[in-house]
Amino acid sequence: MSSTTATPERSGFLVSEYIVCLNGIVWREALRFLHQRERFVSALVRPLVWLFIFAAGFRQVLGISIIPPYETYILYEVYIAPGLMAMIQLFNGMQSSLSMVYDREMGNMRTLLVSPLPRGYLLFCKLLAGTAVSLLQVYAFLLIAWFWDITPPTIGYLTVLPALVLSGLMLGALGMLISASIKQLENFAGVMNFVIFPMFFASSALYPLWRVQEGSPMLYYVCQCNPFTHAVELIRFALYGKMNWVSLAVVGGCTVVFMIGAILAYDPSRGLVRRGPGGGEA
């Protein structure tokens, strides 16, 4: 078996150990993603269906006036592209949440949670890993969308990256927080009904908020309070090399709140994760 010598006594951790840990978690997440090719395909098909079918159908119905960040009239496909990018991240965040619930049920989560590194850091690494995977999907979507005449300025592909990282972290942290409160895999269907659909439809992903306000002032306020709306707007502006400061503040703030909530939820002394008599955290 392993060496006969024990690990020498020392307290604290080296920076290199933190980096090694982060690399390991991202590497594992990437491996799992590559092993699940159907996940990659379905992650791409979903927004493409919206783009190719839904947007094509609604192009003539929904007129888009000139609103920031756009400086001219745009096609409906162009308008919904940032919303679909955020949708990829929303689904990815919830997929990560599902994966954490599955890992808990299967016992894999214990491997992570008994690591000596601080638990908050481990969860943050997991979050970064999920975000990295979502970035791959979003850029694959942008590549396909380019052939569909959705061609933001070239610099936009670069300026959108920080926005995608931040929105990915926010949605991933939300998924992590949700995963702590879900007791069983079977309960995950509720997340679709009570989180994903309301967040997506009550946002500016599919229609501009001024249109929503015309139809229902009440819904307009709901959309304004929806963090996903701000994730979409942050991405939309960043894709055209501009900044939406309000959205940045909301997305940044929500990321911090959701992350702290997730860390507390996975804290062994006060967390939400079920502690049954069978031992373990699942």
The CA–CA distances, whole Å, from 2 to 5, 21, 24, 77 equal: 9, 21, 21, 58
Q: C-beta of 271: minimal distance to other proteins in Å?
A: 8
Interatomic CA distance for residues 108 and 105, integer angstroms: 8
Choice from 74, 75, 113, 136 touching other proteins (CB under 8 A): 113
Amino acid making up residue 12:
G
Tokens of 223: 């959309």
Choice from 7, 72, 154, 193 touching other proteins (CB under 8 A): 7
Q: C-beta of 185: minimal distance to other proteins in Å?
A: 15
Quick check: 275 and 183 in contact, CB under 8 A? no
Question: Tokens 């060496």 appear where?
Answer: 3
28 binds other proteins (CB under 8 A): yes
Binding span for other proteins by CB under 8 A among 127-135, 168-176, 213-221, 261-269:
261-269
- Please confirm whether the linkage preceding 69 is cis (ω < 30° from 0): yes
181 binds other proteins (CB under 8 A): no
Number of residues that bind other proteins (CB under 8 A): 51
Choice from 61, 66, 114, 189 touching other proteins (CB under 8 A): 114
Distant-in-sequence contacts of 155-159, Cβ < 8 A, 24+ apart: 155/241, 156/238, 156/239, 156/240, 156/241, 159/238, 159/239, 159/241
Choice from 53, 65, 73, 118 touching other proteins (CB under 8 A): 118
Q: C-beta of 240: minimal distance to other proteins in Å?
A: 39
Choice from 54, 62, 222, 267 touching other proteins (CB under 8 A): 267
Quick check: 179 and 97 in contact, CB under 8 A? yes
37 binds other proteins (CB under 8 A): no
Chain residues binding other proteins by CB under 8 A are 1-9, 11-14, 16-18, 20-21, 23-25, 27-28, 31-32, 35, 106-108, 110-118, 122, 267-271, 275-281
